[in-house]
Chain A
Amino acid sequence: MKTNKRLSAKSILLLLLSMSLVLVTACSKGDSSSSGESGKDENGNYKDKLKISVASTVTVKDGDMDNEFHKYWMDKYNIEWDYNFVEWDSWGEKLRLWINSGDLPDVAVWDYVHGDAMNYIDQGLLYKFPDDWKERWPNVAKAYSLTGLGDKLEELTGGTYILPRPVYFENKPADPLTNQIGVIAIRKDWAEAVNFELKDAYTTSELMEYARLVKEKDPGKVGSKLVPISYKPDDVLTNIMMPNSAHSRVESAFYKGEDGKYKWGPADPETLTGLKLVQEAYKEGLLNPEFYTWKSSEASNNFRVNGTAAVMSLGGLASYRQDVDKDMKKNLNLNSDDVVHTAIVLGEDGKYRNLEQVNFWSALIFSPDISKEKFERVMDLVDFSVTEEGQMILNMGFEGTDWKYGENKELISLLPEGTSVGDKYPGRFEGLYLLGDDFSMINPAIKQEYRDTAVKHYQNKAKFGKEGGALALYDWDVQLYDSKAKNQATFNYAEEYTNLILQDGDLETNWKKWVESKQSLVQPVLDELNNLKK
């Protein structure tokens, strides 16, 4: 039926008004939780349930959230998580996109880059903490003060925008503290079979000698699948380049030389020494012919999953060693204690090189649009998480169920032999602030032997580093210096070195040409740094 009824002016106005109201409501942030009240009832429980988005690199698979552990944190803080898993390989990239586009989740773990941090703070892309936060969340403040970076950033920016994550809090394993990287694992049974001596530290040449013996004798009978040294480009940088040139990495490339002038490490002769060793290893077939295509865990999987590698990069945490143990048992039906030996790597001159470890790694950041109530709720959680009780729950599970105190107050795990709290409660991302490195030193769920070995490596690193070593010191002047030139002179060294050793022709000539080609970007940074203190 056709109608010719026309709407009156009033009804059109009303319709438009209601439509605009709908639009305004739909387009507004709709955060009903930004009341700014303490958010707790008379019993101290949180009144409103808050949905909080969080991003971190902890893998959380489907179903991982359905356990007592996650329920505990959600109930305690009356929150519902909107978890965003970030792959290691795209971590920096994804966070950059989120931060710059204003899409940062409420709270995120960020791979701290100083230049970016200064830019973001300058542009208002990160949440500014209230001035009294240290009084309100004293446990966080205590851990924060150990990082060093927090105070330095406050001096530069006049406030707190970032929570650098402390590596060690109560259980520092050595002094000076070195970076955990630079620990390798070798097949102990193969070493014994080819009469290769087991030691706590090897030079690169010694490791290559071992790899040659394995390649020649193939003690594991793995045939053409054998990878004597299973490194990806990043591992090559850590375990061949760095032991020979402490300033060959992006973290330490610009450094103050003995003459007080700033230098660029990749142009040092030590870097050429490292490159020569890498090329030798590649040409002899000790590295895989296509190691440069490997990403994530492809290289280490040859050792721990496929059982086809003689050497892999491991890292210094006891938990890493425990993971190898589990992987080998599961995939190769091998007891890793019988087949794995770990060691640190020295330079060809016998000196030990690594990065001096400042006590932070990555940072916790908040969206500039986070509501006050959500921010406070997360900070309450973080504050509890760094307390002894919080750490015990995060790292051990629940007292009486997953662990107990022994007669001498020692920690006893109640988990089935060979399992960890990670197996029972996977994806424990709630440990947002304090890194697991600290607790892994005393975690009874990790075999005592692995913990002792981890401490031994840290102590050896410190000892060798002090006694004639060449640790790359953490230079706050360089690290906190930010300029367009410095940002432009940031290179992917693992990729650059790989490309150099694969090029045809004389390596030294190619390296010199490469150094020369980078000067238009490097020299302005050196000039700026050298003029810094004038």
Chain B
Amino acid sequence: MKPAALGPTKKPHGRSKFKKLASEIKKNRMTYTLLIPGLVWLIIFAYMPMGGLSLAFKDYKANLGILGSPWVGFENFKYVFRDPTFIDAVWRTLYINIIKLAVTFPVPIILALILNELRMSRMKKAFQTVLTFPHFLSWIIVSGIVINVLAYDGLVNSTLAILGLPTINFLGSESNFIPMILLTDIWKSAGWGAIVYLAAISGIDQDQYESAQIDGATRMQQMFRITLPNIMPTVTIMFILSVGGLMSSGFDQIFNLANAATKNVSEVLDVYIYRITFQSSTDFSFSTAVSLFRSLVNMALLLIADRVAKKMGGDGLFR
């Protein structure tokens, strides 16, 4: 294998850089051809709609369209920041998501490590299937199940009542709301999330384990000294991506599990955007201003997480 070039190299000139890229594409044209559908998708569905963000600075009129609607500068943001429920929703979103990140992020990693240690492949597959299955249920179904189980006349409270124990107000209690969000999120997503780490584990060079076994390493030592360090780049990338989504919380989950009693702890930014867009007089410019604010904060968080990861010696998202 040809070693990587050592010592300082001359930075390629713009023109020669382009030439190099062109020859690279030509050389690997089949691989680059496979990239086209994804690229087209990205342009059509991710980049082109970004033009709609200009609505945040316009007074949108459907008959004039996005381009024809008049510019109003930061007028919409003035209304956004005047609304105390918006400010509350921002802090609440961050609060819920930071807790979610701290509690739920490690679960798929732990699950993947445990599943990797299972030696009976049938049992491993069975566990994996059972743990992955909830991912395929929509939050409407999951919340329906949760509400039925945790309601006053639901399974849990009925059992408590039969046992002569006091019933618990699960659904209407503000203090129970976040634990309920965390538990349901773990139940639904941990199995699916573990797949990424299992894939990373499967790519680890088996020689490392053999050497460790020869040296007399226990399975626990192998897990912490070989498996975990090897999947750390994947963990870092997943962590950075999660931090980048701190301002967007699972709308479906919270919307379906919340009610009037838990309003003060459940109205996150996504629910707020939904409410102002569809449940009160429609103002797309206002909603876009809120969404733009959220996206900017998300991007800032993503860049900070990336920089921190690099500073700590890990890999970042951007080279």
Taking beta carbons and an 8 Å cutoff, which residues of A are in contact with B? 92-93, 96-97, 100, 102, 113, 115-116, 119, 122-125, 233, 288-290, 292-293, 484-485, 487-488, 490, 492, 494-496, 498-499, 502-503, 517-518, 520-521, 524
Contact = CB atoms under 8 A, between A and B. Distances in A.
A292 B259 contact: yes
Contacts of A288: 152
Interface string B167-184: 001011000000000000
B63 interface: yes
Nearest to A497: B260
B278 A123 contact: no
A484 B283 contact: yes
B62 A124 contact: yes
Given A499-B264, A517-B84, A115 B281 contact: yes
A292 B83 CA distance: 25
13 contacts: A100-B62, A115-B281, A116-B281, A122-B61, A125-B62, A125-B63, A293-B151, A293-B171, A293-B259, A484-B286, A488-B280, A488-B286, A495-B260
B216 to A, nearest CB: 58
A289 B282 contact: no
A33 B39 CA distance: 43
B283 A487 contact: yes
A100 B281 contact: no
B63 A490 contact: no
A119 B281 contact: yes
B74 to A, nearest CB: 14
B61 A116 contact: no
Given A123-B61, A495-B263, A499-B261, A293 B147 contact: yes
B15 interface: no
Given A93-B279, A233-B260, A520-B84, A100 B151 contact: no
B32 interface: no
The 8 A-B pairs at the shortest CB distance, nearest first, are namely A124-B63, A487-B281, A498-B260, A292-B260, A495-B260, A123-B62, A115-B281, A499-B263
Contact of A123 (B63, B169, B279): B63
B83 A521 contact: yes
A116 B79 CA distance: 18
A298 to B, nearest CB: 12
A113 B283 CA distance: 14
Contact of B151 (A123, A290, A499): A290
Contacts of B2: none
A162 to B, nearest CB: 16
Contacts of A290: 151-152, 169, 171-172
B278 A498 contact: no
Contacts, number: 82
A506 to B, nearest CB: 16
A482 B193 CA distance: 48
A292 B172 contact: yes
A524 B79 CA distance: 11
A520 B286 CA distance: 17
A288 B169 CA distance: 12
B260 A93 contact: no
B172 A102 contact: no
Contacts of A496: 263
Contacts of A100: 62, 282, 284
A100 B281 CA distance: 11
Contacts of B11: none
B169 A119 contact: no
Given A292-B259, A498-B261, A92 B61 contact: no
A494 B61 contact: no
Nearest to B59: A484
Contacts of B62: 100, 102, 123-125
A513 B284 CA distance: 30
B281 A97 contact: no
B82 interface: yes
Interface in B281-319: 281-284, 286
Contacts of A495: 260, 263
A116 to B, nearest CB: 5
A16 B12 CA distance: 46
Contacts of A518: 84
B4 to A, nearest CB: 48
A494 B83 CA distance: 20
Interface centre among B79, B151, B284, by most chain A C-beta atoms within 10 angstroms, is B79
A113 B82 CA distance: 23
Contacts of B171: 290, 293
A496 B85 CA distance: 12
A125 B261 CA distance: 37
Given A93-B278, A293-B259, A495-B263, 8 more contacts: A96-B282, A123-B64, A292-B172, A293-B151, A487-B281, A488-B286, A520-B82, A521-B84
Nearest to A90: B278
Given A116-B281, A119-B282, A289-B172, A488 B63 contact: no
Given A123-B63, A293-B171, A499 B260 contact: yes
Nearest to B167: A289
A125 B284 CA distance: 15
Given A100-B62, A124-B63, A521-B82, A492 B279 contact: yes
Contacts of A502: 172, 260-261
A487 B280 contact: yes
Interface string B81-116: 011100000000000000000000000000000000
